Amino acid sequence: MAQDENGQVSLRLQAAVYICGIFSSGTSNIVWVAVPLWLIKLDASPMMIGISLGAYTFLPLLLSIPGGALIDRLGARRVIVTFGVLVVCLTPLYPLLPWIGALIVLQMLVGLSVSMGWISAQTLVGQRMGGNPIYAGRLAFVVRLGTLVGPPAVGALWDLFGEWGAFLFMSLWTSGVLVAVAILPKSDDERRRAPEKIRMGDFLPRVQSYRDAFALLSIPSILLVVMISVLRQSGQGIQSSFYVVYLENIGLTGTAIGTLLSAFLLVGAFGALTTGPLIRIFNRFWLLMATVGLSIVFIAITPLLGTFFLLMVAIVARGAVLGTVQPLMLTIIAQAAGAGDQGKAVGLRATANRLAMTVIPVVMGAVVEVVGIENAFLVIGAVLLALLLGLAVYVKRAPVFNG
pLDDT tens per residue across span 367-382: 888 888 889 899 999 9
Residues 274 and 150 in one domain: no
Residues 360 and 224 in one domain: yes
Check which CATH number belongs to the domain holding 102 and give it: 1.20.1250.20
Residues 116 and 232 in one domain: no
Kindly report, residue by residue over 148-172, the tens digit of the pLDDT: 788 888 888 888 898 999 999 999 9
In which band, very low, low, confident or very high, does the pLDDT at 5 lie, cut at 50, 70 and 90? very low
Kindly report, residue by residue over 129-154, the tens digit of the pLDDT: 888 888 888 888 888 888 778 888 88
Residues 352 and 399 in one domain: yes
Q: Quote the domain boundaries for residue 230.
A: 211-403
Domain stop point among 185, 220, 242: 185
Please tell me which residue, 107 or 354, carries the higher pLDDT value. Answer: 107
Q: What is the mean pLDDT of the chain?
A: 85
Residues 17 and 164 in one domain: yes
Residues 42 and 121 in one domain: yes
Residues 109 and 179 in one domain: yes
What radius of gyration, in Å, describes the C-alpha atoms of the chain?
A: 21
Kindly report, residue by residue over 215-272, the tens digit of the pLDDT: 888 889 889 999 998 899 888 878 776 787 788 788 887 677 778 877 888 888 888 8
Q: Are 112 and 63 in contact (CB under 8 A)?
A: yes
Burial of 377 from C-beta contacts in 10 A (0-12 / 13-18 / 19+): buried
Residue 389 has pLDDT above 50, yes or no: yes
Residues 179 and 222 in one domain: no
Looking at residue 195, its pLDDT comes to: 63
Looking at residue 369, its pLDDT comes to: 82
Domain stop point among 168, 185, 202: 185
Is the residue at 193 inside a domain?
no
Residues 71 and 171 in one domain: yes
Is the residue at 373 inside a domain?
yes
Looking at residue 403, its pLDDT comes to: 63
Is the residue at 191 inside a domain?
no
Is the residue at 200 inside a domain?
no
Residues 149 and 294 in one domain: no
Is the residue at 204 inside a domain?
no
How far apart are the two ends of the chain, measured CA to CA in Å? 25
Looking at residue 175, its pLDDT comes to: 93
Please tell me which residue, 332 or 198, carries the higher pLDDT value. Answer: 332
Is the residue at 126 inside a domain?
yes
- Give how many domains the chain has, as a whole number: 2
- Angle between helix 308-336 and helix 284-300 axes, rounded to 10 deg: 150
Looking at residue 309, its pLDDT comes to: 93
Is the residue at 63 inside a domain?
yes
Looking at residue 295, its pLDDT comes to: 94
Kindly report, residue by residue over 263-298, the tens digit of the pLDDT: 888 888 888 888 888 888 889 899 999 999 999 999
Residues 231 and 373 in one domain: yes
Which of 4-18, 62-76, 193-207 reaches the highest mean pLDDT? Answer: 62-76
Residues 266 and 353 in one domain: yes
Domain stop point among 135, 150, 185: 185
Backbone phi, psi, residue 200, to 5°: -55, -35
Average pLDDT over residues 194-201: 62
Is the residue at 346 inside a domain?
yes
Encode burial over 80-104: b for 16+ CB neighbours within 10 A, e otherwise. Answer: bbbbbbbbbebbebbbeeeebeebb
Rounded to the nearest angstrom, the gap between the alpha carbon of residue 55 and the centroid of all alpha carbons in its chain is: 16
